[in-house]
Amino acid sequence: MDTQSLQNFGLRLIEERGADYFASILAAEAEGYPRVVFEGVRVPEVVACLKKKFSNMTVVLLTASPEKRRGRLIQRGSDPSLDRHPIEAYSGVYSALANVTIVNDGNLADFQKDVLSLVALE
């Protein structure tokens, strides 16, 4: 199954059963692990539900300047018009949910350093 199909399936599941149901599935998968990373959770209601389920959860917002994001979209062969990407509609909500923000305007090594320093602080 490709990424787009998985995203569509997840969105359909959230529409049919709700954000709390979807968050419960993720929470069940995390049971027994001391530290878990949920990557790419794009529905703010799911993030809010996860924050309720995990009182010690840290939500990290990964962002980049519009110029960097446009350049990366062009490199991937994607539509560089940021206003056409659904995630842009939620940018303020994501900021409000996040405990930490990492601005990813540098190279991969810089990004890895930022993430590893965050993990080391906890």
Q: Is the torsion defined by CA of 85, 89, 94, 95 positive or negative?
A: positive
Structure tokens at 23: 């968050």
How many structural domains comprise the chain?
1
Structure tokens at 46: 């799911």
Mean pLDDT by groups of 10 residues along the chain of 122 residues: 82 94 93 85 91 89 88 82 64 86 93 87 52
The parent domain of residue 10 ranges over 3-121
Question: pLDDT value at position 16?
Answer: 96
Q: Which CATH number does the domain housing residue 60 bear?
A: 3.40.50.300
Rounded to an integer, what distance in angstroms lies between the CA atom of residue 105 and that of residue 69? 9
> Does the predicted model carry a pTM greater than 0.85?
no
Question: pLDDT value at position 88?
Answer: 66
